[in-house]
Amino acid sequence: MPLQTVEPQRLYRQIAEQLRVLIKAGEFAAGTRLPAERDLARQLGVSRPSVREALIALEVEGWVEVRSGSGVYALDRPSGARLAPAEPGNPEWGPLELIRARRVVEGETAAIAARQAKRRDLDAMRAAIDSMARDADAGKMPLDGDRAFHTAIAQTGGNSVLSETVQTFWDSRRGPVFERLGGHFESVRSWRSAIAEHELIIDAIRLHDADAARHAMHKHMDKSHARFSASWRRADQP
């Protein structure tokens, strides 16, 4: 039999595979509640965010069901079902790991923007925030405005590599795992918090305060991470 290409797996996919094997083997029968995130993390020797990403991946594939205020339950699945591989151009990074990477990169793009921003750059950021506010007022998730805001900051520095990196990072949230996680924890209310955080970022950039801009972006990413890391009991709440 010819050898097949070995593809490296991201940590959350490795965790998902272990849990899938246990479900298939009957360790977690259909309808059984899985252990809490903290217990799974301790048993697997990994972080709770990695466990959460794995559970969301399994939910996307129909192996588990997340029940708000109750827990994560195993479902019955055909024996041949597997977690779909990432598509070319869509690395399907773990959402929480991605936010941490964005914190590193976008903290610096915000600092650069504070040093170099011109009126046209600030106008682009302002227009993006205003677009987000209009969508939130209409009860819509302001994704386009959010992308435009972070892109405008990155483009201020005039470095195409940084600009494309920020856009690639942001576009990764269009993947099924990130979208499902957002379905549990994002709401118009949470987006209003994000808009307020954006206001602090643009204020620092307008004042040409690089340290304050970096700090404001770091706080925004930290709060985003916290929103996606909240207790399952808060999932799907208005």
Q: For residues 9 and 123, which has the higher predicted lDDT (pLDDT)?
A: 123
Domain stop point among 19, 43, 74:
74
Please indicate, yes or no, whether residues 67 and 134 belong to a single structural domain of this protein: no
Q: Residue 152 CB: number of other CB atoms within 10 A?
A: 25
Q: Is residue 83 assigned to a domain? A: no
Residue 73, helix vs strand vs coil: strand
Burial class for 129, CB neighbours closer than 10 Å (0-12, 13-18, 19+)? buried
Please indicate, yes or no, whether residues 128 and 168 belong to a single structural domain of this protein: yes
Q: Is residue 221 assigned to a domain? A: yes
Token pair for 54? 């794995």
Q: Pinpoint the alpha helices (H) of 25-85.
A: 37-44, 48-60
Q: Residue 18 CB: number of other CB atoms within 10 A?
A: 14
What is d(CA 129, CA 199) in angstroms, rounded to the nearest whole number?
A: 8
Token pair for 233? 């009991």
Q: Is the pTM of this model over 0.85?
A: no
Please indicate, yes or no, whether residues 67 and 101 belong to a single structural domain of this protein: no
Q: Which CATH number goes with the domain that contains 21?
A: 1.10.10.10
Q: Is residue 5 assigned to a domain? A: no
Confidence category of residue 86, pLDDT binned at 50, 70, 90: very low
Percent of the chain with pLDDT over 90: 60
Q: Is residue 163 assigned to a domain? A: yes
Q: What is the pLDDT of residues 146-171, one digit of tens each?
A: 999 999 999 999 999 999 999 999 99
Residue 220, Ramachandran bin (φ over 0: left; ψ between -120 and 50: alpha; else beta): alpha
Q: Is residue 88 assigned to a domain? A: no
Please indicate, yes or no, whether residues 50 and 144 belong to a single structural domain of this protein: no
Q: What is the pLDDT of residues 19-63, one digit of tens each?
A: 998 898 888 888 999 999 899 999 999 888 889 999 999 999 899
Residue range of the domain that includes 139 = 97-234
State the pLDDT at residue 88.
Answer: 41
What is d(CA 183, CA 190) in angstroms, rounded to the nearest whole number?
A: 12
Q: Is residue 122 assigned to a domain? A: yes
Report the alpha-carbon angle 151-136-168, nearest 5.
25
Q: Is residue 167 assigned to a domain? A: yes
State the total domains in the chain.
Answer: 2
Q: Which CATH number goes with the domain that contains 135?
A: 1.20.120.530
Lowest mean pLDDT among 47-61, 73-87, 106-120, 178-192: 73-87
Please indicate, yes or no, whether residues 64 and 110 belong to a single structural domain of this protein: no
Please indicate, yes or no, whether residues 65 and 157 belong to a single structural domain of this protein: no
What is d(CA 33, CA 25) in angstroms, rounded to the nearest whole number?
A: 15
pLDDT at 64 exceeding the cut of 90: yes
Please indicate, yes or no, whether residues 140 and 230 belong to a single structural domain of this protein: yes
Confidence category of residue 91, pLDDT binned at 50, 70, 90: low
Q: What is the pLDDT of residues 174-223, one digit of tens each?
A: 888 888 888 888 888 999 999 999 999 999 999 999 999 999 999 999 99
Domain stop point among 74, 89, 107:
74
Q: Residue 2 CB: number of other CB atoms within 10 A?
A: 3
Q: Is residue 3 assigned to a domain? A: no
What is d(CA 198, CA 204) in angstroms, rounded to the nearest whole number?
A: 10
pLDDT at 89 exceeding the cut of 70: no
